[in-house]
Amino acid sequence: MRQVLSLVVVLFFARFGAGQEETPDALVRRLGSVYFSEREDASRKLDKLGEKALPALVDAARSSDLETQRRAAQLFRRIRDRLLLDLVRKPARIRLNFKDVPLGQALEETTSLTGLRFQLDYEVLDWTKRRITLDTGNVSLWDAVDQLLSAAGLAPKADLPPSLNAGGTIFVDHAYTADGTLLLDKRSKDALTADHSSSVRVGILPSKTSRGFHLDLALEPRLGWLQLENVEFTGVWRDKLKAVVPKNLSQAAQLSRTLMTMLGGTTPYPRFVVPVSVAAPVKEKTIPLLEGRIALSGKVKQQCLAVDIANAAGQRYREPGGVLVQVLEVKLQDDGGALARILLENFDELVGQHPGPKVIRLKPGSVAVRGPADLFADGVELADAAGRAWQRGNVTHQPSGMDGVELRIQFEAPETAAAPLRLTISTYRHIAFDVPFTLRNVPIPE
Which pLDDT belongs to residue 289? 93
Number of domains making up the chain: 3
Residues 160-169: pLDDT tens digits?
544 443 333 3
Domain span at residue 109 reads 93-298+432-443
Q: CB-based burial of residue 390 (10 Å sphere; 0-12 exposed, 13-18 middle, 19+ buried)?
A: buried
* Same domain as 192, residue 146: yes
User: pTM (2 decimals)?
Assistant: 0.69
| Mean pLDDT score across all residues of the chain | 77
Residues 308 and 416 both lie in one domain: yes
> Is 184:156 a contact under the CB 8 Å cutoff?
yes
Which of 38, 70, 89 marks a domain boundary? Answer: 89
Integer Cα distance of 108 and 98 in angstroms: 12
pLDDT of 332: 92
Whether 436 and 413 map to the same domain: the answer is no
Task: Return the higher-pLDDT residue of 128 and 276.
Answer: 276
Q: Where does a domain end: 89, 120, 145? A: 89
Torsion of CA 195, 200, 204, 210, to 10 degrees: -140
The last residue of one of the domains, among 38, 72, 89, is 89
For 238-290, the pLDDT digits (tens) are 888 988 876 544 444 444 444 444 444 444 556 777 888 887 777 888 899 99
Residue 56 in any domain: the answer is: yes
Within a domain: residue 228?
yes
Residues 144 and 213 in one domain: yes
Instruction: Looking at the structure, tell me whether residues 17 and 74 fall in a common domain.
Output: yes
Cα separation, 369 vs 254, whole angstroms: 17
Q: What percent of the chain has pLDDT over 70?
A: 74
Say whether both 185 and 321 belong to one domain.
no
pLDDT bracket for residue 224 (50, 70, 90): low
